[in-house]
Chain A
Amino acid sequence: MGMNINRKYIVLALLILIPSFVNLGVPIYNRDLPELFGIPFFYWFQTVWLFASAGFYIAFTYLKGKDT
């Protein structure tokens, strides 16, 4: 991979830290509006965020590649 080693590790760290920060930042999503299909924001956001987290984690896995 042509990427600078340090930069690669910073990106890898961010791919784990960004979804974790959102998960633990409860006030970010602790609100009722906007609703989706009548479901308060609190519930639908966290459910949709599951897909986003999987996206971050898949990116992490591919960037990490075969090294252990």
Chain B
Amino acid sequence: MIGQDVIVVFVSLFILFIALGFYGKFWRRGDLNHVHEWSLAGRKLGTTLVFFLIGADLYTAYSFVAIPSGVFAKGSLYFFAIPYVMLTFGIALVTVPRLWTLSREKGYITASDFVKDRFSSPTLAIMIAITGIVAELPYIALQIVGMQAVLTVMFAGSVNAQTVEEVSLLIAFVILAAFTYTSGLRGATLTAVFKDILIWITVIAVIVVVPISIGGFGAAFKDVKPNYVTLPSSLVPAYGTLILGSALALYLYPHAINGVLSAESAQKLRRSTALLPLYGVGLAVLALMGILVYAVPQAMSFLSGFPESSRGILVVPSLILSTMPGWLSGIALLGIFVGGLVPAAIMAMAQANLLTRNIIKEFKPNLANNSEIRITKISSTIFKFVALAFVFVVPATYSISLQLLGGVLIAQILPAVFFGLYIKALKKTPLIIGLLVGIGTGIYMTELANNFGALTTSLFNTPFGALYIAVIALALNLAISFGGSYIYNKASRKQNQSN
């Protein structure tokens, strides 16, 4: 059982979090009946706020729980998350400022808005909107899995632990839905700053306290298996393609694009993007905890009370509880907990924008402005509770499986969204076929790699070693998009000449 001091700090900080969320409505006041005011905070966020907002978007409760969990169970392979976040910001620097500039000029709120305008193709825009909504859902579910891990550790040993846990999550989500409804992205931004401060306190505390309590990092690495020290050479292709595929996919997620478009200028967006790899240091420290935990007997004996499959996600919360003073544990656990709420809010908001602007409005083009904003707000609330229901109904491992698939799917919108920004020769029909083939082969290879059973891997065995399926499917998709556009352009040139 945990001490009262943990609970007191946890609950008081959570109340502060709620207050900030609701205060967002009055912060930098704007007319929240406009979509760009509600979901992009009026496109007025400067370098620091974009840094915190995208930081909160990308380094989530799930990453702080799942990456250490993967390292704990599988070793060095899961450290790919570190070079992947580095690479993704390089890719973002050359792509998203251009998307920002076009969006400011033409009033885009989503990537689908851009695609529809650029290729004059509602079909392609709707397909991209659907891909975004589907890929985002398990991502929200995983935030909840991360939050659940915190609560599981906190309530371990108490009676009715599971009921208490579910009621707590439900309350947290009702509050989250209420302040997102009233404050929009402003509430999310303020709470993101708050969450990031708590996370950084946690990371600094972890890096000081844990190595000291076990007598240095060396002690932990002495007794682990070789695949925890370096990468087995058979996994090098997997590591490389996981870095590449995840890095290409990250900024295609609707919530990432939502964060990008809320920046005040392209230059401020670039500045904050350039600084974001520094946030990865925190992720690296927490990832290492997946190895260090083996040298902390208290944490290991606590973990042994849980089934083996669910131990991984409990590594960081139980390390925190077993090595830190109560008040500090309270801060750290709340940091991870709200680290799930903030991105969940932004993700649901981004899904709602896609649904309203790119699907509903496509069929009801005369939708009035105030109906549009109302539908957006309501659907963002619904998406949050759909994800919550999903977590309550199916085991956590399903959410993790679907998230693997989500990454494969979202990568397939890359040709239209990123290359569409720069390459004039691309045409809509080859892009549509490429997207369908990418998604089809991606799903099929994922099923094949898992023998049509529960999804546990997104790696596919090829003559070059195991490769990340998102990269293989994207290669096919790109070949069709570019090859098809080339043939199309050549044919239409010939036709013009003969005319």
Which A residues have a C-beta under 8 Å from some C-beta of B? 16, 19-20, 23-24, 26-27, 30-32, 35, 37-43, 46-47, 49-51, 53-54, 56-58, 60-61, 64-66, 68
Contacts and interface: CB of A to CB of B under 8 A. Distances in A.
Nearest to B244: A24
A65 B83 CA distance: 26
Main secondary structure of the interface of B (DSSP, over half): helix
B325 interface: no
B17 interface: no
Interface of B: 76, 79, 82-83, 85-87, 89-90, 93-94, 97-98, 101, 211, 216-221, 229-231, 233, 236, 239-240, 243-244, 266-267, 270-271, 273-278, 280-281, 284-285, 288
Given A23-B243, A38-B216, A39-B217, A30 B230 contact: yes
Given A24-B243, A30-B230, A47-B82, A61 B93 contact: yes
Given A39-B218, A47-B284, 18 more contacts: A27-B236, A30-B230, A30-B236, A31-B230, A38-B219, A39-B221, A40-B229, A42-B76, A42-B230, A42-B231, A46-B284, A50-B277, A50-B278, A50-B280, A51-B277, A51-B278, A61-B270, A64-B270
A47 to B, nearest CB: 4
B76 to A, nearest CB: 6
B217 A57 contact: no
B284 A39 contact: no
A19 B86 contact: yes
B221 A38 contact: yes
Contacts of B281: 47, 50-51
A54 B98 contact: no
Contacts of A50: 82, 85-86, 277-278, 280-281, 284
A26 B216 contact: no
Contacts of B231: 26, 30, 42
15 contacts: A20-B90, A23-B87, A24-B244, A37-B217, A38-B220, A40-B221, A42-B230, A43-B288, A49-B86, A50-B82, A50-B86, A54-B275, A56-B90, A58-B275, A68-B266
Contacts of A30: 230-231, 233, 236, 239
A51 B118 CA distance: 37
Contacts of B275: 54, 57-58
Contacts of B266: 68
Contacts of A53: 86, 89-90, 277
B227 to A, nearest CB: 11
A57 to B, nearest CB: 4
A16 B94 contact: yes
Nearest to B105: A68
B294 to A, nearest CB: 14
B274 A54 contact: yes
